[in-house]
Chain A
Amino acid sequence: MPLIGALPQQLSSASPITSAPLVLFVYLVLILMLIAAMASVLLRNTLWAIGSFALSMALLALLYLTIAPLLLFAVQLVVYTTVSGGLLLGLLRLTSGLERPPISPFAHRWIVGGAVTAALGALLVLIAAATSWPMASTIQKGVLAVPYSFTRTLIDSYVVGLATLAVLIASAALGSALLLLAPALHSPRGGGERTGRR
C-alpha cells in the first residue's frame, strides 16, 4: 500500500512557456498584478486599496489559468478575489462605513481611466470568447501539462489535508462568530462601547 504523497503521478516538466502570445500575456498579467499590489499597499483610501487588492488577486487567478489546473484558477478567483474582497468590504461597512473617497470617482480623469480600462477589459473578453485564448493555446501546445483530473488527485492523495482544512475552516468560522458576538470591552484609550464587561 503506497504512502500518502507517494502515489505514482506525472513528474513536472522543466520546459518554459515559449509561445510568443502566451509569454506576452504572462508578462502583462505579472506586471499589472504587481502594480495593483503596490497600489493597494500605497493607496491611502481604504476602499481603493481593497479594489486594487481584489484586482491583483484576479490577475493572479488569470496567471494560474496558464500554468495551473483549472480548479486552482477557480479557487483563486472565488476565495481570494471574491471572498477576500467581500470580507474586507464587509469589514469596512461594519466599522467606519463606506466613506466617499477624497477624490470623487466621477472626476474627469477617473471617468477617462475607467473608460479605457473597461474598453481594454471588453477587448480581452472578446478575444478570449472568440478564440478560447489562452486556454486553447495552452492545451494545444501542451503547456498546461495536466492531463488528468486535479480534483481526483486531491481526493485520492490529500485526504488528510482536506480533512484538516475542513477542521480549520470550521474553527475559523466558529472563532470569528465568537469574536463578533462577544460584547465590546472598555478601551483604556477611551471611546468604544461601554455595554460589555469592565
Chain B
Amino acid sequence: MTAGLNLMLVASAVLFAVGAFAVVARRSAIGMLMGTQFMFAAGALAFVAFARFGRGGAPVDAGPAIAFFVAITAAAELAIGSAMTVVLYRASRAFFLDSDGG
C-alpha cells in the first residue's frame, strides 16, 4: 500500500466538493465562508501533491510556495468576509444571504 499523487488528488477533490456544497447549499454566511476556505485548502493540497509526487519538470518548492500564497490569501478573504458578515448581521439580524432568509 502506498500513498501517492492519486490519493492526494482524490482527497483534494472531495475537500473541494465539500466546500462547494457548503457554498451552494448553506444559507448561513459563516457556513459559506467555511466552504470557501475548504475550496482554497483543496487547491493548495493539490499544488503540494503535484510538487511532491509529480513526475518532475517543476521545482519541488513551487507547489508549497503556491500553497503558502493561497493560505495567506484565504486568510485575507476570510477577514473581509467576516467583516461583511458583521455588517450583514447589523443590518438584518441574521446570517442568511438569500433574499427570503431574513
Contact = CB atoms under 8 A, between A and B. Distances in A.
Interface of A: 5, 7, 9-18, 20, 22-23, 26-27, 30, 33-34, 37-38, 40-41, 46, 49-50, 53, 56-57, 60, 63-64, 67-69, 71-72, 75-76, 79-80, 83-84, 87-88, 90-92, 94-96, 145-146, 150, 153-154, 157-158, 161, 165, 168-169, 171-173, 175-177, 179-180, 182, 184-187, 189, 191-193
Contacts of B62: 5, 9
A188 B54 CA distance: 53
Given A67-B52, A182-B87, 18 more contacts: A7-B59, A10-B59, A11-B58, A12-B53, A16-B4, A26-B3, A50-B30, A72-B48, A79-B75, A83-B75, A88-B78, A94-B89, A95-B95, A96-B95, A153-B59, A157-B61, A168-B73, A177-B83
Interface of B: 1-5, 7-8, 11, 14-15, 18-19, 21-22, 25-26, 28, 30-31, 33-35, 37-38, 41, 45, 48-65, 67-69, 71-80, 82-87, 89-93, 95, 102
